Amino acid sequence: MLAVARREFAAYFATPVATVFIVIFLVMSGTLTFTVGGFFARGQADLLPFFNFVPWLFLFLVPALTMRLWAEERRLGTVELLLTLPITAGQAVVGKFLAAWAFCAVALALTFPLVITVNYLGEPDNGVILTGYLGCLMVAGAYLAVGAAISAMTRNQVIAFVLAVAGCFLFAAAGSTIVTEFLSTNLPWLAEVARGLSVAERFAGFARGVIAARDVVFFASFIAVWLLLNAAILEHRKAD
C-alpha cells in the first residue's frame, strides 16, 4: 500500500502536474485572499478570507489531481499490471488516495507565508488557523475520494474531471442557503439530508476553530464510503 502511495506521489513530481497545481493553487489562493477576501480591509488578524476560498479552489483543482488516478492507468494498460501484483484492490485504492492527499497537504503547507504575514501584522489565534488548515485537508480528502472513485469508472480523463467537479460541487453546494431554502419549501425531508451531507457546512466549523467530533466522523466516513465505492468499482470492472 505504501509502495503504491510512494510511486504515485513521486509521479506527481516527475511530471509538470505538481508544479502547475501548486503554482496555480498558491497564486489563486493568495490573490483571492488579498483582493476579494479583503485581507487588509477587514482589519482582523485571521485567515478567514483565505479559508473561505480554499474549498472552492479545491473544487476544481482536486478533480484535476484525481482525474488521472485511475483513468490514466486504464488508458496506459498499467492497471492490468497494478492489479495483477499481489495487492488487493483496496490497498491500491488507499495507496493512491494517500498519495494524492499527501500532495494536497504539501500544497497547503506551502501557503505558510500567509501564516507568517498574519502573525507579523497582528496577533491571530494560531489554534484557529491550525484547525482551519485541518479543515482544508478534510475537504481535500473528501473531494479526492469522490474524484478517485469517478476516475475509476472511465478511461477518459476529461470525463473524469468534469464528472468529479460536478460531484464535488454537489456536496459543496448542498448546504448553501439557495439549495436549503429551495429544498425546505419543496422537499423538506431532503433539505436536512442535503445539509447533513454538505462538505462546506462541515468545513465552516473547522474554519471557526471548532473541531467537532461529528464533523471529523463525517469526513472520515465520507472518505471511507467513497474509497469503498472506488474499490467496488474496480472489482466490478474485473467481472465484465
Partner 1 sequence: MTALIEIEGLTKRFGGFTAVDGVSFTVARGEVVGFLGPNGAGKSTTMRMLAGFMLPSAGTARICGEDVVERPVAAKRHLGFLPEGAPTYPEMAVEDFLRFCARIRGVGRAEVARAMALTQLEGVRLQPIETLSKGFKRRVGLAQSLLHDPPVLVLDEPTDGLDPNQKHEVRALIREMAPQKAIIISTHILEEVGALCTRAIIIARGRVLADATPAELVADGRSMDEVFRELTMRDAA
| Interacting residues with partner 1 (CB under 8 A) | 3-4, 6-7, 10-11, 14-15, 76-78, 80-81, 83-88, 238-240
Cα end-to-end distance, the chain, whole Å? 25
To partner 1, the closest distance from the beta carbon of 53 in angstroms equals 32
Which residue has 497582528 as its cell numbers?
122
Minimum distance between the CB of residue 232 and partner 1, rounded to whole angstroms?
A: 13
Beta carbons within 8 Å of 109's beta carbon, 6+ residues apart: none
Cβ proximity to partner 1: between 75 and 195 the closer is 75
The nearest distance, CB 106 to partner 1, in angstroms, is: 19
Q: Do 216 and 142 touch, CB atoms closer than 8 A?
A: no
Closest distance of CB 77 from partner 1, Å: 4
State which residue, 90 or 167, has the beta carbon closest to partner 1.
90
CB-nearer residue toward partner 1: 32 or 79? 79
10 vs 166, beta carbon nearer partner 1 = 10
Instruction: For the chain, give the number of residues.
Output: 240
DSSP code of residue 36:
T
The residues near 67 (Cβ < 8 Å, ≥ 6 apart) are 147, 151, 157, 158, 160, 161, 164
